[in-house]
Structure 1
Amino acid sequence: MWEILTRDLFDSWFEEQNEETQIEVLAVLMILREDGPNLGRPQVDTLKGSQFPNMKELRIQVGGHPIRACFAFDPIRRGIVLCAGDKKGKDETRFYKKLIKMADAEYSAHLLEQEK
């Protein structure tokens, strides 16, 4: 099993979601915990445009809503879930640009905290 940690930004988003969304997100996080970096499509895809080559997205469908949660495995091989969002009805390019910017900032902060 792999250690999976979540950042406060993800936790805040998660707490705002309805029960159905929370259950589906937790189910995919459990799969990530089991399979770790070996988990691939359809649950995981690489995010293009991140400053980190190991930045990935969890792809979660909840009642017609495509939920995307950004994560990366850090240098000591822990999965760090950074942020998430619902891309339904949003311009895809703009959605990903904003999500990746948040994910990169969260992952940078995580890496800096680990250096202390």
Structure 2
Amino acid sequence: MSNLKESGYKVLAIVEDIGLLIIALSTVIAIGFEVIQMFEAMKVTLADLLLLFIYLEVLTMIGIYLKTGQLPVRVPLYIAIVAIARYVILDMKNLDTLRMLGLAGAVLLISISILAIRYGHNKFPYNDKKDS
């Protein structure tokens, strides 16, 4: 039975690596399309820069996962904040007060979550040894 478990784990690890490779390649392709679009428009906007930043954060997240085997929870939260900022910038003229307050509240909640996670990691660090 342990051979079956090991084989299953290896298959899942391979599928996981293939999925990460697909995400990484797709992100690089998306960066290329965005850069081409900026060249064609002969203009770089803040929304373009924020989108590129989101792409780089996705690549960073993949790199950290491949290097450590762990996915830091904070990175997707950072990506969410940048995505909300990009949304506000792109749709600012169409946002009513209530929606703007909701988006600001979302950023505030995500920021508090990041602070809580950082505090928890510093105050209560993980032990590498498993309890038996």
TM range, normalised to the smaller chain? under 0.3
Higher relative contact order (CA 8 A, sep 6+): 1
Query: Larger C-alpha radius of gyration, 1 or 2?
Result: 2
More helix by share: 2
TM-score (norm 2): 0.25
TM-score (norm 1): 0.27
More strand by share: 1
